[in-house]
A and B are shown apart, each in its own frame.
Chain A
Amino acid sequence: GNSVTQMEGPVTLSEEAFLTINCTYTATGYPSLFWYVQYPGEGLQLLLKATKADDKGSNKGFEATYRKETTSFHLEKGSVQVSDSAVYFCALTSAGGTSYGKLTFGQGTILTVHP
């Protein structure tokens, strides 16, 4: 079956530091890959997505590249802000119509950014 593994957290950074959160996956075929963000007390919001190998998803200064050869989708940001403090989830959905968009999530990584 599908699985997603994220780097262990929590991650604590100073403002303007570089961020990397590692994500690797196991799936058959060509899944679609996502990063979701959950701010305190809120639901999940889609941060970025990629649907095929070598696609780069980007949003709000965050980037992630779909690497088929290493089955990875690492999240990066060049300069984090205090407002980026949140929980970040890597997720995938299988290719094909019968997946019905069901998501498989990683365990989440808590990011705290200090001024």
Chain B
Amino acid sequence: NAGVTQTPKFRVLKTGQSMTLLCAQDMNHEYMYWYRQDPGMGLRLIHYSVGEGTTAKGEVPDGYNVSRLKKQNFLLGLESAAPSQTSVYFCASSQLAGGLYEQYFGPGTRLTVT
């Protein structure tokens, strides 16, 4: 049981390049989330999904797209990377149990855009 895994762990992009971050979970969770972590700002929600084939915008969605074609995978895409997207990206998944959503986080992807 690997929990939540993220690929890649590190990446350096030039401005204008594109890339996709992959998140996978093996807990059969319905809900998945992408957050970014910036110094002094905590984590902020980019996009989330409430089930296979669904996606929705979070607090800071601009410049990102997502897809959830399979229940276990949640992809985050950057079509044209900008230096402002330099950050650490965390994926999480959760399931409603006992009236509570408990999120499980992946190890993160550190992205640098030059």
Q: How many residues of A contact B (CB 8 A)?
A: 22
Contacts A42-B107, A43-B90, A43-B108; is A107 near B41 (CB within 8 Å)?
yes
Is A101 a contact partner of B103 (Cβ separation < 8 A)?
Answer: yes
Is B100 a contact partner of A46 (Cβ separation < 8 A)? no
- Residues in chain B near residue A42, CB distance under 8 A: 107-108
B70-114 residues with Cβ-Cβ distance < 8 A to A are: 90, 92, 94, 96, 99-108
Q: Nearest Cβ distance between residue A96 and chain B, in whole angstroms?
A: 10
Interface size on B, residues (CB 8 A): 27
Contacts of B19 in A (CB 8 A): none
A102 at the interface (CB under 8 A from B): yes
Contact between A43 and B107, CB atoms less than 8 A apart: yes
Binary flags per residue of A80-92, CB closer than 8 Å to B gives 1, else 0: 0000000001000
A1 closest partner in B (C-beta) = B59
Interface residues of A (CB under 8 A from B): 4, 32, 36, 42-46, 49, 51, 89, 93, 97, 99-103, 105-108
B residues near A (Cβ < 8 Å) are: 4, 31, 33, 35, 40-45, 48, 50, 58, 90, 92, 94, 96, 99-108
Known pairs A101-B101, A107-B41, A108-B42. 12 more at Cβ < 8 A?
A: A43-B106, A43-B108, A44-B92, A44-B105, A49-B102, A100-B48, A101-B96, A101-B102, A103-B103, A105-B42, A105-B44, A108-B40
